[in-house]
Amino acid sequence: MGELTVPWHRLPDMPLGPAKPINRALAAALAVGAAGAAAVMGARAYRAGAGTQAGAVDAAAHPAGVGAEHAQPAADRLSELIGYRTVFSQARDRIELDQFTEFVDALARLYPAVHQTLERKFVNGHALLFKWAGTGPDAEARPIVLMAHYDVVPVDTRDNWTHPGFSGHQEGGYVWGRGALDDKGALVVIMSAVESLLKEGFSPAHDVYLSFGNNEETAGDSAATAAGLLAGNGVRPWMVLDEGGAVALEAFPGLDVPAAVIGVAEKGGLDLELLTHSAGGHASTPPRMGATARLAQAIVALEETPFPASMPEAIVEMTRRIGMNSGFGLRLVTENMWAFKGLLTHVFGVLGDETRALTRTTVAVTMLEGSKASNVLASTARANANIRIAVGESVESVVERVRDIIDDPLVQLRVRSGHGPSPVSSFGNEQFASLSRAVAASYPEAVVTPYIQTGATDSRHFTAICPAVYRFSPLLMDVSDRGSLHAVNERVRISSLGSGVVFYRELLLGLG
């Protein structure tokens, strides 16, 4: 059949008369086949809706306000810790080192049991690495690492914050301030969980490490140093859990319950400089294609020619799990991805920025530089393209594609910094099941699903020593909450801090 190049109803050398019944028979056969395929699709969708997600727990089995007893104490601790201006900078003279020191001292005061029981080491000055020694006979066999970072991005005093950015103010059921979500909130719920378990007399069977970074926001090297220390001591973590996904409300059309999205991989990151030159001179006699015009042309080309979309297996599984808990129409699609994967990939591209970023390499021009004066032509113009590299691509392949898209040899490309996407951790193993059970205890109504983390985290430095690295913060966020990350009015729900403590308690108790 491979050699046929014309439609079946116009095959050569076939008499017209006899062809009619053959055509009708073929059409009937196709109709029957289509109906059969539709029936199979429908049955798959029905069965998916009739079941429940693996690892899910009936919400009625859990009391309302999960973790309420932990919420306010965690909020009060977080409020104080937000008050420390732990803004790291690549320019060392701009770092308020006393704020980092005072933050570390406050941790010791707020969590006395942790500091009395766990071994603490300083890494790269102010990063922290705690060891909670296991008491089982094979304590070193399955160590886990729980991660967070306490450095934050700056607060621009010109922005109109509802409450000052470093106030830690509590109002309306929220703690307000820089770091509430990214990432002091996660650090607080980890420490609060460990503190409460220690006061109850709990000891883990296996070693537990707490790794808290001090320069994640500037892509610093503290986490890499911590990973190197563990590797040098022969520690090969069974699981690593860092920030990343969250318990997301309003994230997926058709899903009325929260989605606990656990990152099983993260996209790579690349800062690529675009550089153009021209003669410069007086702005009264501009050339037709000066440095700024050429640079603008390159930027427009990147904006109008996005990278091709694809759907990694983790995102396929995410859509399937979301569909299982949605209406029949969506289940019909997500349970038959063999037929609808291409269509759904396209839909992800038009639904919004969050879903679009899950399916492709993204390019954002973040910095521009031209002339130093309003009446002087720029002799040099530059832009920084911040690129998040999709799973399956590399720094090299992305640079070549950017070069092809711009298609101008006079636009120079220079890699300022970059790393490829992380390996993909399994979402069918014991580690992911442990995380799912902890979510079920802390957010019983949530759908647990893998996904690809679109931003970079410190956890990427641990992938060389651990095959099971995950990215998830057990904090509830709606669209508005997620929009406050790195933005004005960053805030976290006080109630979700309590649920976050329950998450880590259940995770640690479940691992023994």
Q: Which amino acids are annotated catalytic? A: 151, 216
Contact 485, 175 (CB under 8 A): no
Give the helix/strand (H/E) hosting 289. Answer: none
Nearest to 451 by CA among 259, 256, 242: 259
φ, ψ for residue 173 (rounded to 5)? 80, 10
Give the helix/strand (H/E) hosting 449. Answer: strand 447-453
| 134/47 Cα distance (integer angstroms) | 43
Q: Give me the sign of the Cα torsion angle 369, 372, 376, 378.
A: negative
Separation of CA 45 from chain center: 29
Contact 229, 124 (CB under 8 A): no
Give the helix/strand (H/E) hosting 203. Answer: none
Give 229-287 as a DSSP string: HHHHTT---SEEEEEEEEEESS-STT--S-EEEEEEEE-EEEEEEEEEE---EETTS--
Contact 266, 455 (CB under 8 A): yes
Contact 366, 386 (CB under 8 A): yes
| 450/391 Cα distance (integer angstroms) | 14
For residue 269, is it left (φ>0), alpha (ψ between -120 and 50) or beta? beta
| 86/84 Cα distance (integer angstroms) | 6
Span between the terminal Cα atoms of the chain, in Å: 61
Place of tokens 């832009």: 383
For residue 23, is it left (φ>0), alpha (ψ between -120 and 50) or beta? alpha
| 259/249 Cα distance (integer angstroms) | 7
- Report residue 391 as tokens: 């799973």
Separation of CA 325 from chain center: 22
| 235/243 Cα distance (integer angstroms) | 21
Q: Is 120 buried (19+), middle (13-18) or exposed (0-12) by CB count in 10 A?
A: middle
- Residues belonging to the chain: 512
Q: CB neighbours (10 Å) of residue 382?
A: 18
